[in-house]
Structure 1
Amino acid sequence: MNSTSRRHFLAMLGATGLSAAVAPSLLAAPAPVREPFTFLFVTDAHLQPELNGVVGTDIAFKKARVVKADFAINGGDHVFDALGVPKERALTLFDLYEKTEQELGVKVYHTIGNHDVLGVYPASGIAQDDPLYGKKLFEERFGKLYYSFDHKGHHFIVLDSIGITPDRAYEGRIDAAQLQWLAADLAALPAGTPVIVSVHIPLVTAFGAYLPEPTVAPAHHSLSVANANQVLDLFAGHNVLGVLQGHTHINETVVWKGVSYMTSGAVCGNWWHGTRLGTPEGFTVVTVANNKLTTHYEPSGFQTISPQNT
């Protein structure tokens, strides 16, 4: 509305007996429409030709396609593996994944996983000055490492939880630059905006409680995000409906301070060997309605040729 039209509109308000004080609210932008919707959370495909891994991913994606979903989020570890294999192998796996992903039939938002990072392990033979080393290959294929988008009045945040250590390994960590970005992204939201987060390595999980006590302390904090408390502090005061996580290949929900941290089972199950701590190969269907996020885990029906259930 230009200034002349606005003055005319305010004059009309006065003629009808409405006060000018009411005008700003009438001129304000309408509140975003928060329609209910469904989307897919598919994670830890660990796509590989061996053990029918490409076939199993294809089966899962074709089954997921039947769901009337607005879009999908991939929770990371698209391939198995880019960390410790020659560059040619990693590129082949990414090519196979991109072809297989088309079976989903919807737009896919991508979250980086540790196995999506190129050549970090010295065994790969890939030099650190290779133009695709580390996270560069993922960025070339899928785009930004962390970002946000909006859908039907809901704000989605995709985080990069992969920290690369000086000794060429990985740990769960949200770096300082990303924390600064996250704080600004959340601060810019209108009060009450529903927020949904995707991250690969869990921020909150009870996974360690399900495992035997380790005889040797791990070299790196790899099963959850080491500085998760800094992220959780940023969530405080915001309407976070849920955090979707991957990495551990189990189906689990932990509620902390009213926020559900939902870890999904893996498309690959126990790395294509069957169930992982009782969770079969599959994916998660997410429904959002009435300021609430609910999930349903859907087994894909894949049958391993080499059972090693855990």
Structure 2
Amino acid sequence: MRDEDQPHDPSRRHALECMVWAGTGVLWTVSGGVPKSLGLLGTAEAAEASQSPFTFMQISDSHIGFNKAANPHAIDTLKEAIGKVKALPVKPAFMIHTGDITHLSLASQFDDAAQIIGETGLETHYVPGEHDLIDDNNGKLYADRYGAGKHGAGWYSFDDHGVHFIGLVNVVNLKAGGLGNLGPDQLAWVADDLKDKSNSTPIVVFAHIPLWTVYADWGWGTDDGAQVLQLLRRFGSVTVLNGHIHQIIQKVEGHITFHTARSTAFLQPAPGKAPAPGPMKVPDDQLRKVLGITRVSVSLGTEPLAITDKTLADN
């Protein structure tokens, strides 16, 4: 049943439109399009919900090469994040990285990231962030590493355990402070990619910049994101994962759940809470509480889909 077909319910409307700044180590489940917190990691409820035959990891914004005051040791915090993945009691099926692998698109930075991330032994699927496309050859270093078998600037799809995954690129020719952009070629490709998928197919979309507008003044959104979201509205379960804003913000709209990931490098301010976005210095003993990784558990044929965010400070 579509949202417009359902009876008006003010409380439901609020649940669909709210944004949730999630706390440390909170496990969310999504049932009937409404997120529900199951409490901190380690609770019996969280343990029960995370038992799934199919899980995958998301990491984002590792910014290898960043060495400013917000985190002079971004390479070390990526190592810690990867250590958390390696220590998981149940091995995920694979990992996705939602962009800004590097800070300056240098070959040495890509090399360092590949070596550290490769220690998981997991297949890893990438989409670029704007920091991955700023080399002297318009992103050639990223394309040479990750572009094989991809379309256009690097968009692609794949299937795993009955779930259809779509990796999108919305950072090409990105202007400072400007919104992301997919472009007509990529939108046409998405329409073609989805045309033979049944409405019951679970869809996971991942990109660097949010596909919905979190905060337009800072460019935290995608100019033509609404067009791809319209293509996704017929599906009963859609999860959209992104990075870029270095903090957890969740939104649910109909059957589409939007979830951002923490960075493994540094924090950014909450939308509108600073003169501009950018690396945010926190006390040294608080840094690992604002960096982290995301685990997604999918139980086909049942509700819910569970998203677990874990900080580097968590045991």
Fold equivalence (TM over 0.5): yes
CA shift, 1:267, in A, is 1.0
Q: 2:103 is matched with which residue: 60, 66, 80?
A: 80
Q: What is aligned with 1:39?
A: 56
Q: Distance in 2 between matches of 1:74 and 1:173?
A: 19
Distance in 2 separating the partners of 1:223 and 1:299:
23
How far residue 95 of structure 1 moved from its aligned partner, in angstroms, is 1.2
Aligned to 1:95: 111
The code of the aligned residue for 1:56 comes to: T
1:207 deviates by 4.8
| Paired amino acid for 2:187 | L
Shift of 1:176: 0.8
1:114 aligns with 2:160: no
Whole-angstrom distance in 2 between the partners of 1:269 and 1:176: 33
Give yes or no for contact 2:61–2:100 (8 Å, CA) kept in 1.
yes
Q: CA deviation at 1:254?
A: 0.4
Larger Rg: 1
Larger relative contact order (Cα-Cα within 8 Å, sequence gap ≥ 6): 2
Q: Secondary structure at the match of 2:186?
A: helix
1:294 maps onto 2:303 in alignment? no
Contact 1:111 1:160 in 2 (8 A): yes
1:189 counterpart residue number: 197
Identity %: 28
CA distance in 1 between counterparts of 2:130 and 2:219 reads: 9
What's the secondary structure of 1:200's corresponding residue? coil
Shift in alpha-carbon separation, 1:150–1:137, aligned structure 2, 3 A: same
Superposition RMSD on alpha carbons, in Å? 2.6
Deviation at 1:192, TM superposition (A): 1.3
Within a 5 Å distance, the mapping from 1:50-61 to structure 2 comes to: 50=67, 51-61=72-82
- Match of 1:296, SS? strand
Change (3 A) 1:74 1:274: farther
Residue 249 of structure 2 corresponds to 252
* Aligned residue-pair number: 237
TM-score, normalised with respect to structure 2: 0.69
Q: Check if 1:152 corresponds to 2:161.
A: yes
1:284 to 268, 287, 294: 294
Deviation, structure 1 residue 229: 1.1
2:180 maps to 1:172:
yes
Quick one: distance in 2 between partners of 1:243 and 1:296?
15
Distance in 1, Cα, partners of 2:208 & 2:289 = 17
Partner Cα distance (2:117, 2:182) in 1? 27
Give the Cα separation in 2 of the matches to 1:173 and 1:244: 16
1:63 is matched with which residue?
84
1 CA distance for matches of 2:287 and 2:231?
32
1:87 alignment partner in structure 2: none
| Equivalent residue letter for 1:172 | G
Q: Secondary structure of 1:97's match? A: helix
Deviations 1:213-260 (A, max 9, x none): xxxxx6xx7311011111111112123431111100011110112211
Mark the runs of 5 or more structure 1 residues left unpaired by the alignment: 1-34, 83-89, 120-125, 127-132, 209-217, 303-310
The structure-2 alpha-carbon separation of the partners of 1:179 and 1:81, relative to structure 1 and needing over 3 Å to count, comes to same
Which amino acid is 1:54 matched to? I
Question: 1:258, 1:110 → 2: CA distance?
Answer: 25
Q: Report the residue type matching 1:55 in the other structure.
A: D
So what's the TM-score if we normalise by structure 1?
0.70
Q: Deviations over 1:180-234 (max 9, x none)?
A: 00001111213411111111100125456xxxxxxxxx6xx73110111111111
d(CA) in 2 for partners of 1:223, 1:138: 23
Q: 1:161 to 1:251 in 2, by over 3 A?
A: same
